Amino acid sequence: MILCYSDKCRKDAAGTAEEKRHRNRQKETSDGRQRDKKQKGKGKMEILKCEDISKIYGAGETEVRALDHVSFTVEKGEFVSIIGPSGSGKSTLLHILGGVDRPTEGKVFIDGTDIHSLNEDKLAIFRRRQIGLVYQFYNLMPVLNVDENIALPHLLDGRPLDQERLDSVVEHLGLSDRRRNLPNQLSGGQQQRVSIGRALYSHPAILLADEPTGNLDRKTGEEIVGLLKESNRKNSQTLILITHDEGLAMQADRVIGLEDGRIIRNEKVRNIV
Ligand X SMILES: Nc1ncnc2c1ncn2[C@@H]1O[C@H](COP(=O)(O)OP(=O)(O)OP(=O)(O)O)[C@@H](O)[C@H]1O
Instruction: State the residues that interact with Mg ion by CB under 5 A.
Output: 91, 136
Calculate the alpha carbon distances from 255 to 10, 22, 67, 248, 267 in Å: 48, 33, 17, 10, 6
Determine which residue in the list 86, 160, 270, 272 makes contact with ligand X, applying CB under 6 A: 86
Using the rule CB under 6 A, is 264 a contact of ligand X? no
Residue closer to ligand X by CB (options 138, 201) is: 138
Residue closer to Mg ion by CB (options 147, 210) is: 210
Binding mask 92-131 for ligand X (x = CB under 6 A): x---------------------------------------
Choose the one of ligand X, Mg ion, none that binds residue 169, judging by a C-beta under 5 to 8 angstroms depending on kind. Answer: none
Choose the one of Mg ion, ligand X, none that binds residue 57, judging by a C-beta under 5 to 8 angstroms depending on kind. Answer: ligand X
Distance, CA of 77 to CA of 33 (rounded, Å) = 12
Choose the one of ligand X, Mg ion, none that binds residue 231, judging by a C-beta under 5 to 8 angstroms depending on kind. Answer: none
Closest CB 67 distance from ligand X, rounded Å: 8
Contacts 24+ apart (CB under 8 A), 89-94: 89/55, 89/258, 89/260, 89/261, 90/210, 90/242, 90/258, 91/136, 91/210, 91/242, 92/55, 92/66, 92/67, 92/261, 93/50, 93/53, 93/67, 93/258, 94/133, 94/208, 94/210, 94/240, 94/242
Give me the residues that bind ligand X (CB under 6 A), please.
Answer: 57-58, 64, 66, 84, 86-92, 136
